[in-house]
Amino acid sequence: MEYFGRASIEFVHASSPLQLLLKQDSTGQTKGSTSTDLAQVCRDSTPVCQLNPLLFNGHLQTMWTAVAQSAPEIYYRRRVFDADHVTYTGSFAVDFAVPPFQIPEPDPSLPLPLPPRTAFFDEASFASIGSDDSRPMLLVLHGLSGGSYEEYLRHCLLPLMESQDVPWEIAVVNSRGCAGSSITSGVLFNGRSTWDIRQVALWARERFPNRPLFGLGFSLGANIMTNYVGEEGAGCPLKAAVVVGNPFDLQVSNKFLQRSFLGRTVYEKAMGANMKKLINRHREAIIKHTNLDLDRINQITTLYEFDREVQCPTWGYPTEEAYYRDASSCDLLLDIRIPFMAIQAKDDPIAVAEAVPYGEFKQNPYTVLCMTSLGGHLSWFEPGGGRWHAKPVSRFLHNMATKIDLNTIPRDLTDHNAKQRPGVTFKPQRRKLQIDVSQE
């Protein structure tokens, strides 16, 4: 029960969560118990949720993001990667968190200005970026039309960067065309665009062979991150991941938005306007690389209209509903084989609670859901302006990196087909039952 901004917290997970071994000290010993489980790590990482009592529901929390601009100052060096996929061509920008530096004067030759406190790597510096150190490294995906500069993201990064015992290395993978990056092909991004994070994860594992890799995603980036770790399954190069404000089932979330007055008139219009601005910001590139109808796009007013005019013709979806069903990450939750924590707010007006796959969390021991009763969408504003979600995010990642023996985590504990009849298999990535005709 909530009172004066104090939110209740519920954890949803399998009856037998993933068992984890604790790290031994230099003498080969552990203090107290030698093991724990994923649900306990999530509980230990999650503090009391005391939010600003004046922002007493999800709408006020969410709308306050347009007013609150206070966040830690994170400095980045940017590198543009050329996509290495034969189909998903083009380029994308990755921003690496670095110590503060003197910001150079804006480069007038750039097609778009870079975000604040961001500058490009020089070639020599990036060529020598590889290292044999064992620092944990975090790969981050932002929300719809955002970027590495987002306040909700920076609140989570600073505690990790300032950690005295184990400082983290961090890289934010910007969606194509976002955060001042250029669009260089007809391949844009959508809710299941996992190829860029996949390329960066493989690149990081090669350049930093001793670093344990972790993942963090917000909103649409949370959906992409969930799809990615589910697609990778037991072979995922990440050691653990956490997602925040994941819409999970895009079709359900979108229908709820269209059903409510604020959903239609505020959230859908705001997100549609942001995406329309993104397209117009890259007008010349869109004309050069795609056959999109810019006149029709400029007439849209909502996100689902944008998806109809952009996602459907870009990817070949017959309807925006088909896109939502295909891009949703709820089914892929079953294929995750790394420790995975999701943080959601029950009053989130965008990533609605009705779209959260509670049953899948209860079935897969690698996953834990942390659901707060208050918080809005990527908000969780505390008295004084802090963001509560930064605490469980940074603590979970740090606890996994410093307390858990990551090399002993098994990746073959669960079988979501165990209760099904012989010859019938549910394939989460296909979202279909597959019937073995030889059994008939």
Active site members: 219, 348, 377
List the structure tokens of 146.
């955002």
Could you tell me which of 365, 189, 331 has the C-alpha nearest to residue 249? Answer: 331
Structure tokens at 297: 């796009």
Cα(235)–Cα(246) distance, rounded to whole angstroms? 23
Q: Encoding tokens for residue 277?
A: 């601005």
Pairing relationship of beta strands 49-50 and 6-7 according to DSSP bridges: antiparallel
Please choose, from the candidates 68, 25, 120, the residue with its C-alpha nearest in 3D space to the C-alpha of residue 386: 68
- Residue among 303, 276, 146 nearest 219 (CA): 146
Total number of residues shown for the chain: 440
Q: Which two tokens stand for residue 61?
A: 């929390």
* Among candidate residues 175, 168, 184, the one with its CA nearest the CA of residue 150: 175
The C-alpha angle 3, 357, 201, rounded to 5 degrees, equals: 105
Task: Record the tokens describing residue 15, joined without a space.
Answer: 């009856």
